[in-house]
Chain A
Amino acid sequence: MIFHLVYFLTAGLAASEPELLERAVQGDKEAFGEIVRMYEKRVFRVARRMCNCDDDAWDITQDAFIKAMKAMHSFNTEYRFFTWMYRIVTNTAINLSRSRSRRAEVEFDEGYGGGGQTATADTTIQESNRDILVAAVQKAVELLTPALRSVFVLRVDQELSYEEIAETLDIATGTVMSRLNRARSSVKAFVVTELGGQP
């Protein structure tokens, strides 16, 4: 008897993600709360990487979860939730970025010193100070256009596969590859320049 009670209690506490999703689709707010707990850190991280401000990142994260909650009844549980959630948060971040247009977004791939492909550039990066390197990469990412930035963040930071990125952003895999190459080339060229190297 005690065994069964403990079993049911633990089973209720450790509900699987598909089960939580099914319940959330049916309107169970508690289940959706559990889903928020499961994904909040990853979603916030994507939001923060996509924008340049903690406050904006919190707003984006909260908006994304509220949108997900409101649209939860239409979510098809046969699909992956995290790609759906990532799509919402990246779209929200892109919309916020476009609506504010405070910063000049520069797509500086070809026109930025040949994309940092020289051996000198590689050496500069390898010998750089870690903190300086991080700051330079962060600045370069912020200067990317939203389309390139979202691909870069999802691949480099979230380590999603090309297929998952394509599904998340609803673009072709080839488009993912081309955008990722352009983003990497741009970031590297900017970083090398920031570090005083020769791209």
Chain B
Amino acid sequence: MICPDRNTLMTWCDKEIASPEADTISEHIKHCESCKAFTVAQKQMESVWRDSWKDPGEASFKKMRSNIKHATPWWRTQRTWFIAAALCAAYIGVKVFYIDGTGASLSSIALEETSVPVQITSGDLSDPRDESPLEEMEEAVAVEVAEEEIEFLQDELVSGQSEIPEVVEELSVDLALSVSDSGVSVGDAEMEVMEEDADLISGSPEVVLNAVGGHHNVESQDMAEPPGTVDESLEQESVFRTAGSISSESAGSGMVEGALSGGVGGGGSTAYGSVGMSPAPVTEDQCDDLVEDVHSDLPAQSETPMITYSVLITLESKEIIQIQRFQWNSLFAMIDALQEENWNPSAEMLVFTVSSEGIIAGDNAADGAVIAVPETGYGDCVVTVHFF
């Protein structure tokens, strides 16, 4: 028989080889001096080292047992308090962060990342309490945008200036307003502007309203004149709707760009006029009234529902040490990162996997994106964040 290799011999010494082959090797070793010397030397070396062990004295073990006994039990460990503290911190943090009805922080996020047109239309507002948290955020943004739009409109109509404030240049809003002899109103009478309507306007100013914000509907009452104060046949009502983006290259060097159509109500006749080109079609008082009325239709700040996220974090790990070394600050890093990623706010549960690579977001963020890195490289635990 050919001598088995040394690894096989050592495996045989460890009694890890099954019977038929083990018997063959045993028979071979009896007659092979080389293999016999190898196994004897290896066993001697290992047994000498193994037998050289001497247990330390009992006093040392007693001291160690005492230290272990006085160690913190598992139910008082950092993990328990970490979860409790993280829950409290997350709840308070979210409350403080989103409690402002004007949504200052949220609007800044929205200004940077969203460009969903905000449409101001007539209609019933849905009950804010029924809206999802994101809708509430958007509502706050829309309110802010609407207020800015109104200020802009007020300045524009009264002064006749065509300069577009920079703050407005960053906005993008669909705004439906009615301008009549007696004032400007936000209404639903002419929400749909036909292309041909715009074409029929000769020399009409072009309105530029850039917008920001989420998707929002704001109800406003028509600024209808009291009956009888204006002759309907003479009432000229210009309705314009702005759309699109601001362009500083628009004709008229800074004039508001867009489509402006005017419609004369009454008797079904239609006439078209221009608003922006008029020196001062409405008075300042009328604009103030408009602003006041629109404000009255907007949800008051105090009525704006607060965003109430409740976050529940569940940590699962094979070994407690991995949890202990996970820093709770990463929770906020996760939430911040979520807002930068394609966060699906309707999700009720977000799952992350903590590995040596970092925190890997689940389906609700970019696939495989590392959105936060734990303090240590320990991994193999799952972080589940529940949003209510």
> CB-nearest residue of chain B relative to A181?
B7
Which residues of A45-97 have CB atoms within 8 Å of chain B's CB atoms? 45, 54, 58, 61-62, 65-67, 69-74, 88, 91
A144 on the interface (CB 8 Å rule)? no
Q: Are A126 and B14 in contact (CB under 8 A)?
A: no
A125-B44, A134-B49, A137-B45 known; A29-B69 Cβ under 8 A: yes
Could you say which of B41, B46, B56, B61 contacts A121, with CB atoms under 8 Å apart?
Answer: B41
Chain A residues in 8 Å Cβ range of B320: 67, 70-71, 74
Q: Could you say which residues of chain B place their CB within 8 Å of the CB of A162? A: 14, 16
A177–B7 contact, CB under 8 A? yes
In the bound complex, CA of A65 to CA of B75 (Å): 16
Knowing A181-B10, A184-B10, say if A119 contacts B37 (CB, 8 Å): yes
Check B56 against A70 for contact (C-beta < 8 Å): no
Residue B129 interfacial (CB < 8 Å)? no
Q: Are B74 and A27 in contact (CB under 8 A)?
A: yes
Q: How many residues of B contact A (CB 8 A)?
A: 39
Residues of A135-157 whose CB lies within 8 A of B: 137-138, 141, 155-157
B69 engages A58 (CB within 8 Å)? no
Q: A3-11, A12-20, A34-42, A100-108: which one contacts chain B?
A: A34-42
A44: B residues at CB distance < 8 A: 55-56, 61
B319 lies within 8 A of A71 (CB): yes
**8 Å CB contact of A134 from B41, B48, B73:** B48
B48 near A29 with CB under 8 A, answer no
- A-B contacts, 15 of them at CB < 8 A, read A33-B69, A58-B60, A62-B67, A71-B319, A91-B319, A117-B6, A122-B37, A123-B41, A125-B44, A126-B41, A181-B6, A181-B10, A184-B10, A185-B6, A187-B45
On A, residues with C-beta under 8 Å from B are 27, 29, 33, 36-37, 40-41, 44-45, 54, 58, 61-62, 65-67, 69-74, 88, 91, 115, 117, 119, 121-123, 125-126, 130, 133-134, 137-138, 141, 155-157, 159, 161-162, 177, 180-181, 184-185, 187-188, 191
